[in-house]
């Protein structure tokens, strides 16, 4: 068997001894990764348990289509599957998921290895990577689907080999070409926003697909031929070759396989040349460096003064401006703001999808939902407000400003940021319902935001946890079990209890239909209560932070 393998490698112009050495090195590195990072093994097992059944289910469904569906749907489905897998291999590197954990070719260029040996080792190395395990069930389903036509199996095998090589080479080309881009802060921000929006819109996408499926009849499905468009993509050409082989058009089979092979050659050549260029120090897709801003007042500073905050202490105004800037610059904070805007919109569309005219019949007591929107917006923005400083917390605590002034600036910033999406929905609701009760609901929402931020101030002093602004997720980066219990159980309960006096007058007035002046007075009283509680909590949390700076800094440190 070893001799047969050596002859096959020699026929392809490869050095068998060097390939064995490279594969052995690849396996040793893989074993060491799991030995040094047990979490990788746990993550791999979790992936198999959660996504393994889903992948097998999809592969089994595609196999059923290959075997039982009428023509031309078996080969059409094959084109859809191969194109979908190819697009996945392109997209995953762009979202910081490596589709090849093989050897780093840039480090092997110093050794006397030919380009063909290096590329072949990378291709063979993907057989041990996670994306290949996901791809394999779909390929097995394709083979099983054409077992009853043995004269087509050679075409199927060649098509699958070409498709797999195209997936690997294209994924590596995208990863190599975007190497500088992936390290940039701008692209990291964009990827987090896109992934968050995709996760938030899953239900909406499901409703759209369901609506399309109901509107499409069986006759339209029989005439649908997506392969006519997909065949011009490299993996679609492989499926088109099989479609022609079923009709005995062997010349067309050769032409479409040659077309796919030409794509493979061009992509491989481009990958190799780009890898050499990057390794020798040439720049690839570099983003322009930001220009230094002149020393002047910024538009944010002017806007803060224009809206009536010029009377605030200088440290408070500086903190207010800093929070506005970081909310947009730090990806995780930006996600919190965008989700506070889009989450209610997605909920409204999901509820009224297909019946949007029902929005015009909303009752005026829907204004009671505004405090809820404000609660979740303020909660998401102000949670772990000291830990969100990340590596800058130590510098912040070195400032000689009173701590309550710093917390006041943070609290006002989060309240105003939470007010932005709530005001937007209040305006939309007012245009639909046309009731002055919306204004009362907005006042109750402001009271809710002040109380939520006040609770998070105290929680941040006692139960901060680390936060990495360079992370690609919004998950917690640490903190003990007590912190988790407080943030998940105690803090929401405290928010609900303390916010009750501020929101109950408005809710009672809307529920029992009390006169608007009575409801408005109750909402104003709740706003005064919330403002007093916010002011007292700011001074209390500032006093506690002065005595607990070392403990808070240690709890929020990324190095713990």
**Which of 165, 99, 171 has the alpha carbon at shortest distance from 131?**
99
- Can you spell out the DSSP letters for 356-376? GGGGGG--GGGGGHHHHHHHH
pLDDT of residue 290: 47
Half-sphere exposure (CA, 13 Å, Cβ side) for 414? 33
pLDDT of residue 494: 93
Residue 392, pLDDT > 90, answer: no
All residues at 6 or more sequence positions from 537 whose CB lies less than 8 Å from its CB, including other chains: 454, 455, 457, 458
Mean pLDDT of 462-479: 64
Instruction: Give the DSSP letter of residue 338.
Output: H
Q: What is the pLDDT of residue 363?
A: 66
pLDDT of 301 reads: 59
Top pLDDT among 302 and 429 is at: 429
pLDDT for 24? 78
Q: What's residue 475's pLDDT?
A: 47
3-class secondary structure, 117:
helix
Confidence bin at 88 (pLDDT 50/70/90): confident
In terms of average pLDDT, the best of 259-273, 326-340, 401-415 is: 401-415
Closest listed residue to residue 184, CA positions, set 477, 470, 467: 470
Choose between 45 and 442: higher pLDDT: 442
More confident residue, 11 or 382: 382
Angle among Cα 206, 209, 214 to the nearest 5 degrees reads: 125
Dihedral, 168, 169, 172, 176 alpha carbons, nearest 10: 180
**pLDDT for position 441:** 87
Residue 466: predicted pLDDT:
84
Q: What is the pLDDT of residues 112-145, one digit of tens each?
A: 777 677 777 776 766 766 677 788 889 999 988 8
Dihedral sign for Cα 209, 214, 219, 220, please: negative
pLDDT of residue 470: 58
Q: What is the pLDDT of residue 274?
A: 77
Residue 400 — pLDDT band, cuts 50, 70, 90? confident
Q: Calculate Rg over the CA atoms of the chain.
A: 30
Residue with tokens 């392969």: 227
Which of 285, 223, 279, 231 minimizes the C-alpha distance to 257? 231
Residue with tokens 């202490």: 313
Given a cut of 70, whether residue 16 has pLDDT beyond it is yes
Helix, strand or coil, per DSSP, at residue 178: coil
What pLDDT, in 10s, does the model give residues 526-535?
999 999 999 9
Residues 350-371 as b or e (16 or more Cβ within 10 Å = b): eeeeeeeeeeeeeebbbbbbbb
Instruction: Read off the pLDDT of each residue in 445-466 and give the average, rounded to a whole number.
Output: 92
Residue with tokens 């940039």: 184
Q: Note the pLDDT of residue 473.
A: 46
| pLDDT exceeds 60 at position 324 | yes
What's the DSSP call for residue 391?
G
The most confident of the ranges 103-117, 196-210, 496-510 is 496-510
Question: Which pLDDT does position 482 carry in this prediction?
Answer: 81
- Tokens linked to 420: 């932005």
What is the DSSP code string of 183-207?
HSHHHHHHHHHHHHHHHHTHHHHHH
Q: What percent of the chain has pLDDT over 70?
A: 66
Query: 184 — phi, psi (to 5°)?
Result: -80, 150
Mean of the per-residue pLDDT values for the chain? 76
Tokens of 85: 């897998």
Is the separation of the CB atoms in 506 and 441 below 8 Å? yes
Residue 517, CB-side half-sphere exposure with 13 Å CA sphere: 0
Confidence of residue 328 (pLDDT cuts 50, 70, 90): confident
For 206-235, what is each residue's pLDDT tens digit? 655 565 556 555 555 556 678 888 888 888
Question: What local confidence, expressed as pLDDT, does residue 411 receive?
Answer: 93
Place of tokens 């339209």: 220
The predicted structure's pLDDT at residue 483: 83
Is the peptide bond preceding residue 72 cis, with omega within 30 degrees of 0? Answer: yes
What is the per-residue pLDDT for 403?
Answer: 92
What phi and psi values does residue 497 have, to the nearest 5 degrees?
-70, -45
260-312: pLDDT as tens digits: 999 999 988 887 777 777 655 444 444 444 454 444 555 555 555 545 677 78
What pLDDT does 450 receive? Answer: 95
Mean per-residue pLDDT, 349-358: 53
Neighbours of 542 (CB within 10 A): 19
- Answer yes or no: is pLDDT of 188 > 60: no
Residue 437 pLDDT = 84
Of 199, 22, 194, 235, nearest in space to 91 by CA: 194
| Cα torsion through 499, 500, 505, 506, rounded to 10 | 60
- The predicted pLDDT at position 489 comes to 87
Give the number of other Cβ atoms within 10 Å of residue 526's Cβ.
26
Range with the lowest mean pLDDT among 41-55, 296-310, 360-374? Answer: 296-310
The answer, yes or no, to whether residue 410 has pLDDT greater than 50, is yes
What mean pLDDT is predicted for residues 538-559? 88
Res. 368: pLDDT tops 80: no
Burial class (CB in 10 A: 0-12, 13-18, 19+), 504: middle
Residue 113 or residue 149, greater confidence: 149
Tokens describing residue 451: 């109380």
pLDDT value for 459: 93
Provide DSSP, 5-30: HHHHHHHTT--HHHHHHHHHHHHHHH
Chain centre to alpha carbon of residue 407: 30
Query: Is it the case that residue 349 has pLDDT exceeding 70?
Result: no
Amino acid 381: pLDDT: 85
Distance between CA atoms of residues 82 and 173, nearest Å: 18
Which pLDDT band, with edges at 50, 70 and 90, does 407 fall under?
Answer: very high
């Amino acid at each position: 068997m070893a001799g047969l393998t050596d002859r096959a490698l020699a026929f392809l112009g490869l050095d068998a001894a060097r390939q064995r050495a490279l594969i052995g090195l690849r396996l040793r590195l893989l074993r060491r990764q799991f030995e040094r990072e047990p979490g990788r093994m746990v993550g791999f097992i979790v992936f198999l348990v959660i996504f393994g059944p889903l992948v097998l289910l999809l592969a089994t469904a595609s196999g059923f289509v290959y075997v039982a569906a009428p023509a031309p749907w078996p080969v059409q489905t094959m084109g859809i599957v191969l194109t979908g897998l190819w697009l996945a291999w392109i997209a995953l590197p762009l979202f910081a998921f490596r589709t090849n954990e093989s050897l780093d070719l840039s480090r092997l260029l110093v050794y006397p290895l030919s380009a063909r040996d290096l590329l072949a080792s990378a291709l063979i190395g993907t057989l041990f990577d996670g994306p290949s395990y996901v791809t394999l069930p779909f390929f097995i389903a394709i083979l099983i689907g054409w077992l009853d036509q043995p004269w087509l199996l050679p075409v199927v095998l060649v098509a699958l080999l070409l498709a797999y090589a195209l997936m690997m080479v294209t994924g590596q080309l995208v990863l190599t070409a975007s190497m500088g881009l992936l390290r940039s802060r701008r692209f990291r921000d964009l990827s987090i926003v896109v992934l968050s929006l995709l996760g938030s819109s899953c239900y909406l996408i499901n409703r759209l697909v369901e609506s399309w499926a109901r509107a499409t009849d069986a006759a339209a499905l029989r005439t649908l031929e997506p392969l006519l468009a997909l065949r011009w993509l490299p993996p679609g050409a492989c499926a088109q070759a099989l479609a022609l082989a079923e009709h005995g058009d062997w010349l067309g089979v050769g032409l479409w396989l040659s077309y796919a092979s030409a794509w493979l050659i061009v992509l491989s050549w481009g990958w190799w040349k780009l890898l050499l260029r990057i390794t020798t120090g040439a720049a690839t897709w570099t983003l322009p460096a930001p220009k230094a801003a002149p020393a002047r007042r910024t538009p944010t500073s002017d806007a803060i003064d224009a809206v009536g905050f010029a009377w605030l202490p200088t440290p408070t105004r500086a903190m207010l401006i800093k929070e506005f800037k970081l909310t947009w610059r730090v990806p995780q904070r930006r996600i919190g703001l965008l989700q506070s805007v889009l989450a209610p919109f997605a909920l409204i569309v999901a509820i009224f999808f297909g019946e949007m005219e029902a929005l015009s019949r909303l009752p005026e007591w829907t204004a009671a939902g505004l405090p809820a929107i404000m609660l979740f917006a303020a909660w998401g923005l102000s949670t772990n407000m000291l830990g969100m400083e990340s590596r800058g917390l130590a510098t912040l605590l070195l400032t000689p400003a009173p701590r309550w002034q710093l917390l006041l600036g943070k609290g006002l910033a989060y309240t105003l940021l939470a007010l932005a999406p709530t005001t937007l929905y209040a305006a939309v609701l007012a245009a639909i319902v046309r009731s002055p009760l919306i204004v009362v609901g907005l006042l109750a929402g402001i009271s809710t935001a002040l109380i939520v931020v006040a609770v998070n101030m105290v929680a941040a002093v006692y139960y901060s946890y680390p936060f990495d602004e360079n992370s690609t997720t919004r998950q917690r980066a640490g903190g003990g079990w007590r912190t988790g219990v407080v943030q998940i159980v105690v803090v929401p309960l405290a928010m609900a209890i303390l916010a009750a006096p501020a929101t109950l007058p408005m809710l009672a007035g809307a529920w029992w239909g009390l006169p608007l002046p009575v409801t408005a007075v109750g909402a104003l009283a709740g706003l005064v209560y919330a403002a007093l509680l916010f002011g007292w909590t700011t001074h209390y949390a500032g006093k506690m932070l002065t005595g607990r700076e070392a403990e808070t800094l240690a709890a929020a440190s990324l190095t713990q």
